[in-house]
Amino acid sequence: MSISEKNHRWAVVLAGGDGTRLRELSHRVSGDARPKQFCEFFGGKSLLTHTRERIAPIFHSDQTLYALARAHRPFYEEELAGVADRHRIIQPENLGTAVAMAVGLHCIVERDEDAVVAFFPSDHHYANVAAFHASLQTCLATIQEYPESILLLGAEARYPEVEYGWIEPGRTLVESRTNSLHRVARFWEKPTSDRAERLQRRGCLWNTFVTIGLAGTFLELLRATVPGLMQSVKMPSDGCQLDELYNSIGPVDFSRSVLARIPERLVVLRDSESGWTDFGSPNRVVDVLSRHSMRPAWLVPSAVGAM
């Protein structure tokens, strides 16, 4: 069996974040307290809808899960009305990416032990969706050659951003103008401005957090890096009665607690053409909309000046 076969491809959309850094702008856009992934910043669609549409050509809806937070139900209930309960992971609260990923992985392996799993944040913008699709297809075709590794999609850095994680490429595995593949030498989480400038000069990449691997490999690395979490996440998770679990554990960030600790188990695919941006700050949102000549109704001079 080829592990790249489509019937073993699973996606998990991470949509349980609280969006605290963008809270003021999100309120300006939506008029209520919804987190950014449920806001319609451009195109008359929420960031979550943009994410769903972006991955739909590659992942079947029956093999796509959504990690959500119970408190956000009023904001996603209508949008996800057609999504079956078994495809929703309703978290009692947001305890970080590693917790949501661990629960999602357990939901998937109960249904498909041979799954290849891709995790997607729900607050991103891609200037070139076709290039993103090409990179993603390359990732899915490549991971079968490196089944013991986790593959990260790394965006070509355009400036020395201090709020992103950075990936330092190591040995080149596959040469390509747009999608070269490398071992990971080191993972840097939110560096200082001086270090970010040095990382950019050295050709390091932004971590998009699009993360792909065999479900079994993800679980192995989580057990090795955060064993306490994985000892707790043993329960059957269909529909997920998660209250008891979430009352017994604390927040765990996947980048800091896992990626930064096991760079030798990571490979990175360089994405040089998709124009990826994380909608993590108001200025970044406005910059993306301005660069692509998008003028939604909420983007008026007074709104820009307030930021």
3-state secondary structure the chain: CCCCCHHHEEEEEECCCCCHHHHHHHHHHHCCCCCHHHCCCECCECHHHHHHHHHCCCCCHHHEEEEEEHHHHHHHCCCCCCCCHHHEEEECCCCCHHHHHHHHHHHHHCCCCCCEEEEEECCEEECCHHHHHHHHHHHHHHHHHCCCCEEEEEEECCCCCCCCEEEEEEEEEECCCCCCEEEEEEEEECCCHHHHHHHHHCCCEEEEEEEEEEHHHHHHHHHHHCHHHHHHCCCCCCCCCCHHHHHHCCCCCHHHHCHHHCHHHEEEEEECCCCEEECCCHHHHHHHHHHCCCCCCCCCHHHHHHC
- Confidence (pLDDT) at 245: 87
Mean pLDDT of the chain: 92
The whole-number pLDDT of residue 301 equals 57
Residue with tokens 């994405």: 271
Least confident of 105-119, 197-211, 227-241, 279-293: 227-241
pLDDT at 90: 95
Kindly report, residue by residue over 69-114, the tens digit of the pLDDT. Answer: 999 999 999 999 999 999 999 999 999 999 999 999 999 999 999 9
Average pLDDT of the segment spanning 7-19: 95
Q: Report residue 145 CA to chain centroid gap.
A: 22
Please provide the size of the chain in residues.
307
Q: What is the pLDDT of residues 130-159, one digit of tens each?
A: 999 999 999 999 999 999 999 999 999 999
Are 115 and 8 a contacting pair, CB within 8 Å?
yes
What does the pLDDT average to over 117-130? 97
Q: Give me the amino acid identity at 302.
A: S
> Is 295's pLDDT higher than 50?
yes
Q: How far apart are CA 149 and CA 258, in angstroms?
A: 13
What CA–CA distance (Å, rounded) separates 95 from 199? 30
pLDDT at 270 over 60: yes
What is the C-alpha to C-alpha distance for residues 184 and 139, in angstroms, rounded to an integer?
Answer: 15
pLDDT digits (tens, 9 = 90+) for 41-72: 999 999 999 999 999 999 999 999 999 999 99
pLDDT digits (tens, 9 = 90+) for 191-218: 999 999 999 999 999 999 999 999 999 9
Closest among 123, 138, 122, 148 to 220, alpha carbons compared? 148
The mean pLDDT value for 7-36 works out to 94
Quote the pTM value: 0.93
pLDDT beyond 90 at 238: no
The letter for the amino acid at 201 is: R
Which tokens belong to 105?
Answer: 């992985």
Q: What is the pLDDT of residue 234?
A: 65
Which phi and psi angles does 111 have, rounded to 5°? -105, -30
Q: Per residue in 27-45, pLDDT tens?
A: 999 999 999 999 999 999 9
Instruction: Indicate if the pLDDT at residue 240 is higher than 60.
Output: no
Domain segments of the chain as ranges? 8-306
Q: What does the pLDDT read at residue 12?
A: 98
pLDDT > 90? residue 7: no
Is 50 exceeded by the pLDDT of residue 305?
no
CATH number for domain 8-306, candidates 3.40.50.1860, 3.90.550.10, 1.10.490.20, 3.40.50.720:
3.90.550.10
Q: Which pLDDT score is estimated for 37? A: 97
Q: What is the mean pLDDT of residues 237-249?
A: 73
